[in-house]
């Protein structure tokens, strides 16, 4: 479950979001410029915001307590609209990019199977 209580500064206005997201999939809809991408970036930690983000009880962001986890510690995968692969790496290296020395080899095979490549 994701708990949000955010204030996001956007170009035109500050976006306030208060929600508890409980489902497997959530769709965020709105006209362009309304802050959909910015919201996702804030949850992933790629954009500054003020307020609170809790993920399954873990504090990713809590401005009141000075908590702000950097993106690499949030363990949230983020896929932008246009896929955004690393152009300097081949497909194999792109898929393996997030793997660390301790990772299971099986993870790679699973990802390849899911992606059907």
- Residue among 31, 57, 77, 102 that touches other proteins (CB under 8 A): 77
Please give the radius of gyration of the chain, using alpha carbons only, rounded to the nearest integer: 16
Pair 11, 38: CB distance under 8 Å: no
Closest contact distance (angstroms) between CB of 72 and other proteins is: 5
User: What does DSSP assign to residue 92?
Assistant: H
Interface pattern 6-45 for other proteins (x via CB under 8 A): -----------------------------------x--xx
Closest contact distance (angstroms) between CB of 7 and other proteins is: 21
Closest contact distance (angstroms) between CB of 98 and other proteins is: 4
Residue 64: both structure tokens together? 């009141």
Q: How far apart, in Å, are the Cα atoms of 101 and each of 76, 96, 104?
A: 19, 11, 9
- Phi, psi of 69, rounded to the nearest 5 degrees: -70, 135
CB-nearer residue toward other proteins: 64 or 82: 82
Binding site for other proteins (CB under 8 A): 41, 44-46, 70-72, 74-78, 80, 82-90, 97-98, 100
């Amino acid at each position: 479950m994701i708990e949000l209580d955010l204030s996001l500064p956007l170009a035109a206005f500050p976006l306030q979001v208060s929600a508890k997201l409980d489902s497997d999939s959530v769709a965020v809809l709105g006209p362009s410029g309304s802050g959909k991408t910015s919201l996702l970036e804030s949850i992933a930690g790629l954009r500054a915001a003020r307020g609170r983000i809790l993920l399954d009880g873990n504090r990713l962001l809590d401005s009141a307590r000075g908590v702000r986890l950097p993106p690499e510690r949030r363990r949230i995968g983020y896929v932008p609209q246009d896929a955004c692969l690393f152009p300097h790496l081949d497909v194999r290296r792109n898929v393996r990019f997030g793997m660390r020395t301790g990772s299971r080899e099986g993870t790679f095979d699973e990802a390849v199977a899911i992606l059907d490549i």
